[in-house]
Amino acid sequence: MGFSKGDTVTVDIIADDGTDTTTVSGPSLVIDNTPPEAPTLAITPSSPGPGDSLWCEVVTDSPDADEDAITYTITWTVDGVDYAVGGTTDTGGLDSGASGWAGPTTTTWTDDTTDGDDVWSNETWTCTATPNDGDDDGTPASVSVDTNCNDASASTCPGLDCLDILTTDPTAPDDIYWIDPTGSDAYEVFCDMTTDGGGWTLVMKAVNDNFLYVDPVWSTTGLANETDLSLTTSGTAKYQSYNEVPFTELRTSDNTVLTTDLVESFSTTQTSALALFSSSGTVLDTIHNSYFDSRAPSAYQAWGCTELNRYGLNLADALGCTYQSGSGGFLCDHNGGARWGNRTNQYYCSSCGELHGQGWAAYGCSSSSEPSVDTGPQGAYLHTINELMWVR
């Protein structure tokens, strides 16, 4: 025999001696309500990031012995602080004029959904659902998620570099992201996520412009127009990524057709572009590089004698700036180079040719009247470029 909630139960005791019977009624009692048990919960998404709206779903309803209809009261906490309109986890309180959290909204049960604008990185969000069968609250259930720092969409959620961001999210598009390679200061960079497998971090640009070889940006931590992350706006820029992002590949590309490019690979990891361009000069080839030659203005393209052509990095440090003369005599003399690029014999007038630079921070130098004097790299014969410098 079973009883249901609300049933009145009375115990009657019947005494029978074989001849007579006597009935005695005991006290009555009412079958009480049985509160519901805990439900099973889940938070969607299960691995949220900053800006994601969180939904607390009742996956399995609370078991209830009385088979009553169950409703749920949903509450949230953020890092242990009750989540409500106007609230904050800032122990110092809200700044003047700040509105605090937007607060929860309803998808299925009241307040079961958070506002995405309230969700930041490195937080623990806990949803608690308390069941009720119309008479009593039952056993509550809770579930928590940690907001991951994996999309580099905010300063509070930076990647190490563009390759790190792409490794975390292989679908990440070309865009501006936040990185913090040293763990000390997050900043924005442009990431090329498509060319040659993607993951390229922009460290420098020169669009319809060029740097001087002696510009301090090459060998100091100073920045230049670091907020200019446009690939097409004219000007030069050097970003904090130049100072901090380690790499094994150095790349220069056209500023609009990113697949028009040149990549130099290194057998050991370079600690930064700053370290590379602060080091001694390196001649990578005694033949000029066709990429830089083809992208130079016509008057600055390779012509005439070739024996003094060179390609490399920090060429003034590698080649010096004393007067040089090749087989062409006055048609193949003087000196030049680039921070990254060529020294070539160039045809720059109707009947003359000299050794000058092509590429990043190209320069011309030396004096024929003082052939033994190292003049140092000069701004003479500097030509504009449309180049972006990347590392990976």
Average pLDDT over residues 349-371: 90
Under DSSP, is residue 166 helix (H, G, I), strand (E, B) or coil?
Answer: helix
Q: What percent of the chain has pLDDT over 70?
A: 96
pLDDT value at position 3? 67
pLDDT value at position 95? 55
> pTM of whole model > 0.85?
no
Q: Which pLDDT band, with edges at 50, 70 and 90, does 124 fall under?
A: very high
Residue (of 345, 348, 349) closest to 328 by Cα position: 345
Decide if pLDDT at 17 tops 80. Answer: no
Task: Report how far residue 63's alpha carbon sits from residue 38's, in angstroms, rounded to the nearest whole number.
Answer: 7
Average pLDDT over residues 54-79: 96
CATH class in words for 40-146 = mainly beta
Q: What is the pLDDT of residues 291-325, one digit of tens each?
A: 999 999 999 999 989 999 999 999 999 999 999 99
Average pLDDT, the chain: 92
Decide if pLDDT at 91 tops 80. Answer: no
Q: Please compute, for residue 141, the number of CA atoms within 13 A of its CA located in the half-sphere on the CB side.
A: 20
pLDDT value at position 1? 58
Decide if pLDDT at 330 tops 80. Answer: yes
Higher-pLDDT residue of 25, 247: 247
Q: How far is CA 78 from CA 48, 83, 123, 127, 281, in A?
A: 14, 6, 7, 9, 54
Polymer length in residues for the chain: 392
Q: What is the pLDDT of residues 137-168, one digit of tens each?
A: 999 999 999 987 767 988 888 999 999 999 98
Q: What is the pLDDT of residues 241-285, one digit of tens each?
A: 999 999 999 999 999 999 999 999 999 999 999 999 999 999 999
DSSP lists the bridge partners of residue 251 as 263, 390
Question: Helix H segments across the chain?
Answer: 162-168, 240-244, 273-278, 290-295, 315-319
Q: Roughly how many angstroms between the first and final C-alpha of the chain, as a whole number? A: 76
Tell me the domain boundaries of the chain.
40-146, 150-367+378-391
pLDDT value at position 33? 85
Task: Report how far residue 37's alpha carbon sits from residue 204's, in angstroms, rounded to the nearest whole number.
Answer: 61
Task: Report how far residue 209's alpha carbon sits from residue 91's, in angstroms, rounded to the nearest whole number.
Answer: 49
Average pLDDT over residues 114-133: 94
Task: Report how far residue 345's alpha carbon sits from residue 305's, in angstroms, rounded to the nearest whole number.
Answer: 6
Average pLDDT over residues 117-131: 93
pLDDT value at position 333? 93
Which amino acid appears at position 168 of this protein? T
What CA dihedral angle connects 158, 161, 162 and 163, to 10 degrees? Answer: -120
pLDDT value at position 58? 98
Decide if pLDDT at 181 tops 70. Answer: yes
